Amino acid sequence: MKLLVTGGSGFIGSNFISYWLEKYTRDTVINLDLMTYAANPLTVKYHQKLFGERYHFIQGDICNFNLINDLVKEVDLIVHFAAESHVDKSVENSSIFVRTNVLGTHTLLEAARINGNKRFHHISTDEVFGTLELNSEAKFDESTPYNPRSPYAASKAGSDHLVKAYFETYGLPITITNCSNNYGPFQFPEKVIPLYITRLLNNKKIPVYGKGLAVRDYLFVLDHCKAIDLVITKGKIGESYCVGGDSERNTNQVAEIIAAKLNKPYELIVHTADRPGHDPRYAINHAKITRELGWNPTISFEDGIDFTIEWYKNNESWWKPISSKAEEIAEKYLQSVNKKS
């Protein structure tokens, strides 16, 4: 089988390519990625070295219809990861989020439709469902109404609606996964876990938004890749599947766990101004994918964090060249403390 993977130089897409090509040894992948600030050219080199001719990289934009149309003709399956993915960035400037996440997804769907209704799997997020009360037992599932609260979440919700509309209107064979927060190797250090690891490794302060009580459900990226595989190969066409890690942690806990594992003093943990519209809690009920496809998260938060810390320790040459953008964001938040005090 030949796959078109979009955003395969980003965090989850690159882990997925490794996972898929290692498991399906006769398959080939075209990775189409614009190589925005969130992508790392070293990841492309890594895949080229590892998979040779089974991996083909094209630098390009999912909004470029002619390019997409030519590529879609060649493949059996489209797995769509490409997105603007950082909530903070969407708060500052949302235009690129609408362009990439909504128009880019539409371009791919249109190409899939006019080329014989190609199989299409869309990667989405639990953030489309909005937020949950901090101290409740409630969780998101496939029947939760959409209620996005950040420009990022709204643009992902828009893309999900388009994907579903292409199934209903044109019978495009789609599936969607709505997943909770991922962490693991190859994650750009603007995101909380690699940000904390890479800064603490250098004895730098780490910013914790507000009181640090916002809860996220963390999933190790390999478990997400396995869920996507199951949905692609065994999922019911037209359906969405919620994927979560059964690992709810608030930001204080994440910061303290990482500091403790790295033997760093808690004084490096600094509470900053909160993110505007910061959602208090996300949590996923993954009963549907467990019941129908037999998926469960297999890697505990403790083990996943240990693995991730080791990876960042051993792969400084991967993250060092791209860390300046992440450093800027962290320093900006740390300044918000200095201004207040």
Ligand X SMILES: NC(=O)c1ccc[n+]([C@@H]2O[C@H](COP(=O)([O-])OP(=O)(O)OC[C@H]3O[C@@H](n4cnc5c(N)ncnc54)[C@H](O)[C@@H]3O)[C@@H](O)[C@H]2O)c1
60: tokens are 């390009």
| Cβ proximity to ligand X, 101 vs 264, nearer residue | 101
Check binding of 47 to ligand X (CB under 6 A): no
Check binding of 304 to ligand X (CB under 6 A): no
DSSP 8-state symbol, 140: B
Contact 261, 309 (CB under 8 A): yes
DSSP 8-state symbol, 191: S
Q: Which residues ranging from 152 to 191 are in contact with ligand X (CB under 6 A)?
A: 156, 179, 181-182, 188
Q: Which of 75, 123, 153, 227 is in the footprint of ligand X by CB under 6 A?
A: 123
Q: Which residues ranging from 130 to 149 are in contact with ligand X (CB under 6 A)?
A: none
Distance CA 59, CA 9 (A): 10
**Residue 25 CB, nearest distance to ligand X (Å)?**
24
**Terminal-residue alpha carbon distance, the chain:** 58
Q: Is residue 126 annotated as a catalytic residue, yes or no? A: yes
Distance CA 67, CA 60 (A): 8
CB atoms within 10 A of CB 26: 7
Q: Is residue 53 annotated as a catalytic residue, yes or no? A: no
Distance CA 285, CA 299 (A): 17
**Residue 266 CB, nearest distance to ligand X (Å)?**
25
Binding mask 52-71 for ligand X (x = CB under 6 A): ---------xxx--------
Check binding of 244 to ligand X (CB under 6 A): no
Check binding of 100 to ligand X (CB under 6 A): yes
CB atoms within 10 A of CB 331: 13
| Cβ proximity to ligand X, 153 vs 293, nearer residue | 153
Distance CA 14, CA 149 (A): 28
Check binding of 6 to ligand X (CB under 6 A): yes
83: tokens are 């997105």
List active site positions.
126-127, 152
In the complex, which residues of this chain contact ligand X (CB under 6 A)?
A: 6-7, 9-13, 32-36, 38-39, 61-63, 81-85, 100, 104, 123, 125, 156, 179, 181-182, 188
